[in-house]
Structure 1
């Protein structure tokens, strides 16, 4: 009896310690923010926006691989640079296991989210709800809901596969650069790992979704759009380097220098 009570008490103390430990709370917070950004990026990615019109400038009329046009990107690109920063931050303090955990968790949540979106699409709509937004230019709310949340399976799977491959590549390149440079040049391992992982990600998602998928894009269009997406992601990643250092400064202040350095040493050691 006493042994059982002692075991239960130890479990309770361990649980409380985990919740009271700042490093554990930090990981939970980083993981939660990472997953929210990844899931949101997938869901808002159905919208394509014109960058030049958004900025109020004349169309640049790019011309690559025989294809021409204006700069149009998925709205998900607003959030993916944040995901890159979160990946590198978790990698810095929690290593490969931390990044792999949050990556698989995010992928599972994305599948979960889309599964329930498809269930919601197939629920019979209330008759009054279908026409409730007519005054706002939406004659059929059900059709609009299905169009926005019912992204094609090729797009969903292409995005998921590219996300997982990109994350796994990112974590390995990050630590290769870290071994070569030590604890110096945090910007280099962050930007270098993103440069390689997003090169793969940018083309894999388009290849699965639009080349293998029903649209069967020509090679020239695939290369042109993939190149533009990659250049945009890299420009955003470079622009957000100061955010990486702000995150590091905040973490050191929250954990204390000694605890932060301990986590980084464990992460570097694998």
Structure 2
């Protein structure tokens, strides 16, 4: 099939909503990692019984949807900048949590144990979260940008779901084994059940919210007057983003 994708057009130097989309991405990323990443929950399914999943799955996939919107509207290079911004925010959050937990509590304050339980994540969880986020988000953005070229900008639903299958698959496969393998309360069967649940639920979220993605992408493209194709983009995660 002949590739009819348009060449990359020169984008304006300043976008009206790019910073707001970046802020939404980083906010969702931090809150989903801070609040829901380490708590397993469950649902009761017919014929199966209790099926476990990580509580963060209810909100974390929204960051991937925002990432899809970023790549589709603003291109891979600007999505790369946002991913690195999110990575830096995660790093600072981990550092701040460690410092605050280590500070001695004031005499008579009863919340230190609970505070350590909630915010005192081990180095394993911090490392796993950052590695999984980095690999998953870059894979998601790369696949979506490449598929946009291959499909000549058609079938947005195929691109968003396809990139999520890859990106969220990597994220779940990296995070849970790296963070919880061998720990008490995380038998191997539960670990892989949560990995598969995360992957399936995140992908299902992407599919269910496809109409929202279409509406957001369409509105932003009209407002920004831009529709970028990454035909000449350097896809290295470490390349410098211009503009």
Deviation at 1:268, TM superposition (A): 5.1
Deviation at 1:101, TM superposition (A): 1.2
Superposed, 1:1-270 pairs within 5 Å as 21=14, 23=15, 25-46=16-37, 48=39, 50-52=41-43, 59-60=44-45, 70-130=50-110, 141-211=111-181, 214-215=183-184, 219-255=188-224, 259-261=225-227, 264-265=228-229, 267=230, 269-270=232-233
Structure 2 counterpart SS, 1:87: helix
Contact 1:51–1:73 (CA<8 Å) still a contact in 2?
Answer: yes
Provide, for residues 129-150 of structure 1, a one-character-per-residue CA deviation record: whole Å limited to 9, x for no partner: 32xxxxxxxxxx1110111011
| Residue aligned with 1:70, SS | strand
Counterpart-to-counterpart distance in 2, 1:160 and 1:88: 19
Q: 2 CA distance for matches of 1:77 and 1:186?
A: 23
Residues 11-54 of structure 1 show CA distances to partners (whole Å, capped at 9, x for unaligned) of xxxxxx96xx4x1x3211111111111111110125636453xx
Change (3 A) 1:231 1:157: same
Q: Is the 8 A contact 2:72 2:217 kept in 1?
A: no
Task: Show structure 1 runs of 5+ residues with no match.
Answer: 1-16, 53-58, 64-68, 131-140
> How high is the TM-score relative to the length of structure 2?
0.82
Separation (CA, whole Å) in 1 of partners of 2:197 and 2:47: 9
Counterparts of 1:43 and 1:151, CA distance in 2: 10
Q: C-alpha offsets along residues 173-210 of structure 1, whole Å, 9 cap, x if unaligned?
A: 11222122111111111110001111111111112112
Judging by fraction of residues, say which structure has more helix. Answer: 1
2:37, 2:70 → 1: CA distance?
A: 28
For 2:109, what is the secondary structure of its paired residue?
helix
User: Is the contact made by 1:50 and 1:70 (CA closer than 8 Å) also made in structure 2?
Assistant: no
* Higher relative contact order (CA closer than 8 Å, sequence separation 6+): 2
Compute the TM-score of the two structures, normalised by the length of structure 1.
Answer: 0.74
Name the SS for the 2:53 alignment partner. Answer: strand
List per-residue Cα deviations over 1:80-115 (Å, max 9, x = no partner). Answer: 221111111110122221122111111111110121
- Partners of 1:82 and 1:220 lie apart in 2 by 27
How far 1:215 sits from its partner (Å)? 4.8
**Match of 1:71, SS?**
strand
Q: Mark the runs of 5 or more structure 2 residues left unpaired by the alignment.
A: 1-11, 234-243
Contact 2:52 2:190 in 1 (8 A): no
| Secondary structure of the structure 2 residue equivalent to 1:127 | coil
1:48/1:72 contact within 8 Å kept: no
| 1:74 CA drift (Å) | 2.8
Choose 1 or 2 for highest CA Rg: 1
Contact 1:252 1:260 in 2 (8 A): yes
